[in-house]
């Protein structure tokens, strides 16, 4: 058995969020991933983000596909419904769940194998539908559960643990999401909680498909010299383009950014996204600029991080579909069934 309930320890002096919940209330089962796995840091960042946003756990659904990354929904928010689906198919399950109940807050957790190979199609279509989901790709360039095969995000020239070199081109989920018409595309690193937590909060608040590619090193199969997804390589080659902070609707903005390089974007729920450009050349509202910036850095072997593209006005899945604001799961039978008389009348045209 690898399922271990995590004891809830409460002590005086714990901080409570607006709902009166402590950070412990946002935790899940004990992780069974390898010690030092990047994914556990992402889980911790998620716990922090949900707690800080004071979201009720029961409002959240956690969905995943198959792989090490897809195990992680068991490790946070034990008060939320979770759905560990089949390989590469998390986006379709999320689409159905949100079609049924648009009030749910969905977080989909996937990996590079799950989203860029077997599930590439579903990833693409969730992005182009602008499904209201926080879509995380815990990206380590390698298949962990099947012990070390290259994934589609492995860079050409990157070496496997036993020395074999990857010769195929890599898929960049962020460049892909931008070209697919994605409304929110960001990259981060599991080892940079200061950057990651605000990005997760921004993604959760964003009214559409928020894709965050998180470089999350695999300590067992892909953390050696020659790997371009190792802790050391990522730290040495990270290039933050922006820094993001999310200001909830009720709070006033404390300006700690230098004038001129920070933009404030008001989201539909009234919260504001503070975006600080670390590179003066950068424009996260412009697809062409974002793609060129990504490409220029890729050529130099650099990993660009931060919120790289944002269009918070793009209509989401339900806006495009014209679905009622009231969730379909809340509809009464009378609202759905036209009744016997209508059926009789309809059939007059069938004679």
Partner 1 sequence: MTSVQKINDFVIKIATVNGTGSASANSLLMKALFRMGIPVTGKNLFPSNIQGLPTWYEIRANHDGYNARTGRVDMMVAMNAQTYLKDLAEVSPGGYLIYDSTWPRDKQLKRDDIHIIGIPLAKMANEHFGAARVRILMKNIAYVGALCALMDIDRDVVRTLLEETFAAKPKLIDSNLEAINLGHDHAREHFECPLPIRAEAMDGTRDKILIEGNAAAALGCLYAGATVGAWYPITPSTSLMDAFEAYCRKFRVDPDSGEKRYCIVQAEDELAAAGMVLGASWAGARAFTPTSGPGISLMSEFIGFAYYTEIPAVFFDIQRVGPSTGMPTRTQQCDIMSAAYASHGDTRHPLLLPADPAECFELAAEAFDLADQLQTPVFVLSDLDIGMNDWMVSKLEWEDTRQPERGKIFDAEDLANMENYYRFLDIDGDGVAARTLPGSHPRGAYFVRGSGHNQYGGYTEDGEEYQQVLDRLMVKWETARNKVPAPELTAAEQRADCGIIAFGSSHGAVTEALDRLNENGIHADYLRLRAFPFSDAVQEFLDRHDRVFVVEQNRDAQMRSLLLLETRARRDQLIPVLHYNGMPIPSDIVFESIRDHLRQEAVA
Region binding partner 1 by CB under 8 A among candidate stretches 97-105, 197-205, 260-268, 296-304: 97-105
What whole-number distance in Å separates Cα of residue 65 and Cα of residue 306? Answer: 25
The β-bridge partners of 244 are 275
Q: How far is the CB of 315 from partner 1 (least distance, A)?
A: 14
Kindly tell me which residue out of 97, 137, 152, 204 binds partner 1, with binding defined by CB under 8 A. 97
Strand, helix or coil for residue 183: coil
Burial class (CB in 10 A: 0-12, 13-18, 19+), 65: buried
3 is a contact residue toward partner 1 (CB under 8 A) = yes
Rounded-to-integer distance, Cα 53 and Cα 248, Å: 8
Shortest distance, CB of residue 140 to partner 1, whole angstroms?
22
Q: Indicate the residue among 128 and 237 with the shorter CB distance to partner 1.
A: 128
Is 284 a binder of partner 1 (CB under 8 A)?
Answer: no
Give the one residue of 8, 19, 100, 292 binding partner 1; rule: CB under 8 A. Answer: 100
Structure tokens at 82: 């979770």
Find the part of the chain contacting partner 1 (CB under 8 A) among 199-207, 232-240, 267-275, 331-339.
331-339
Pairing of strands 242-247, 272-277: antiparallel
Under the binding rule (CB under 8 A), the answer on residue 258 touching partner 1 is no
- Of 124, 180, 238, 275, the one binding partner 1 (CB under 8 A) is 124
CB of 95 to partner 1, least distance (A): 5
Site string for partner 1, 55-94 (x = CB under 8 A): -xxxx-x-x---------xx---xxxxxxxxx--x-xxxx
347 interacts with partner 1 by CB under 8 A: yes
Q: Which two tokens stand for residue 176?
A: 């892909």
95 interacts with partner 1 by CB under 8 A: yes
- Residues 303 and 349: their CA atoms lie apart, in Å, by 63
Q: What angle do CA 103, 109, 115 make, to 5 degrees?
A: 115
CA geometry: angle 92, 312, 48, nearest 5 deg? 70
Q: Which residues lie below 8 Å from residue 273, measured CB to CB, with a gap of 6+? A: 202, 205, 244, 245, 246, 247, 264, 265, 266, 267, 307, 310, 312
Q: What tokens does 212 get?
A: 């965050």
Q: Scanning the structure block, which residue is given the tokens 């198919």?
A: 89
How far, CA to CA in Å, does 13 sit from each of 10, 16, 22, 27?
9, 9, 10, 18
Which value, in Å, is the radius of gyration of the alpha carbons in the chain? Answer: 21
Is 10 a binding residue for partner 1 by CB under 8 A? The answer is no
| Binding segment (CB under 8 A) for partner 1, from list 162-170, 219-227, 231-239, 326-334 | 326-334
Min dist CB 232 to partner 1, Å, is: 33
* Residue closer to partner 1 (CB basis): 202 or 211: 211
Phi, then psi, of 51 in degrees rounded to 5? -65, -45
Nearer to partner 1, 259 or 334 (CB): 334
Q: In what order do the strands lie in the sheet with 272-277?
A: 242-247, 272-277, 262-266
By CB under 8 A, tell whether 342 contacts partner 1: yes
The count of residues interacting with partner 1 (CB under 8 A) is 63
Residue with tokens 């412009």: 286
User: Per rule CB under 8 A, is residue 39 in the interface with partner 1?
Assistant: no
Kindly tell me which of 30 and 34 has the beta carbon lying closer to partner 1: 30
Q: Does 162 engage in binding with partner 1 (CB under 8 A)?
A: no
What is the nearest approach in angstroms of partner 1 to the Cβ of residue 182?
16
Find the part of the chain contacting partner 1 (CB under 8 A) among 35-43, 242-250, 301-309, 322-330.
Answer: 322-330
List of residues contacting partner 1 (CB under 8 A): 1-3, 29, 56-59, 61, 63, 73-74, 78-86, 89, 91-101, 103-104, 121-122, 124-125, 129, 318, 321-325, 328-329, 331, 333, 335-340, 342-344, 346-347, 350-351
């Amino acid at each position: 058995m690898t399922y271990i309930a995590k004891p809830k320890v409460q002590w005086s002096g714990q901080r409570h969020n607006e709902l009166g919940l402590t950070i412990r209330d946002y935790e899940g089962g004990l992780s069974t991933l390898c010690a030092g796995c990047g994914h556990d840091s992402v889980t911790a960042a998620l716990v922090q983000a949900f707690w800080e946003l004071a979201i009720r756990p029961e409002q959240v659904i956690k969905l995943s596909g198959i792989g090490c990354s897809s195990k992680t929904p068991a490790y946070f928010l034990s008060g939320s419904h979770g759905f560990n689906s089949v390989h590469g198919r998390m986006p379709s399950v999320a689409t159905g769940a949100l079609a049924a109940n648009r009030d749910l807050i969905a977080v989909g957790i996937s990996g590079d194998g799950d989203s860029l190979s077997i599930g590439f199609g579903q990833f693409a279509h969730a992005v182009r539908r602008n499904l209201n989901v926080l879509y995380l790709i815990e990206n380590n360039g390698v298949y962990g559960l099947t012990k070390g095969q290259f994934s589609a995000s492995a860079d050409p020239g990157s070496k496997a643990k036993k020395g074999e070199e990857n010769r195929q081109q890599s898929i960049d989920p962020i460049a892909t999401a931008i070209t697919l018409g994605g409304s929110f595309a960001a990259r981060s690193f599991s080892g940079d909680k200061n950057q990651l937590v605000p990005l997760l909060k921004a993604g959760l608040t964003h009214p559409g498909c928020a894709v965050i590619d998180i470089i999350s090193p695999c300590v067992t199969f892909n953390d050696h010299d020659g790997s371009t997804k190792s802790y050391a390589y990522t730290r040495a080659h990270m290039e933050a383009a922006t820094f993001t902070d999310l200001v909830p609707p009720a709070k006033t903005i404390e300006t700690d950014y230098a004038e001129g390089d920070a933009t404030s974007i008001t989201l539909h729920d009234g919260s504001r996204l503070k975006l600080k450009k670390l590179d003066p050349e950068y424009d996260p509202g412009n697809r062409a600029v974002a793609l060129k910036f990504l490409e220029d850095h890729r050529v130099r072997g650099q990993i660009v991080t931060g919120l790289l593209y944002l269009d918070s006005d793009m209509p989401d899945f339900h806006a495009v579909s014209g679905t009622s604001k009231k969730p379909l799961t809340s509809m009464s039978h009378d609202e759905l069934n036209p009744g016997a008389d209508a059926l009789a009348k309809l059939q007059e045209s069938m004679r």
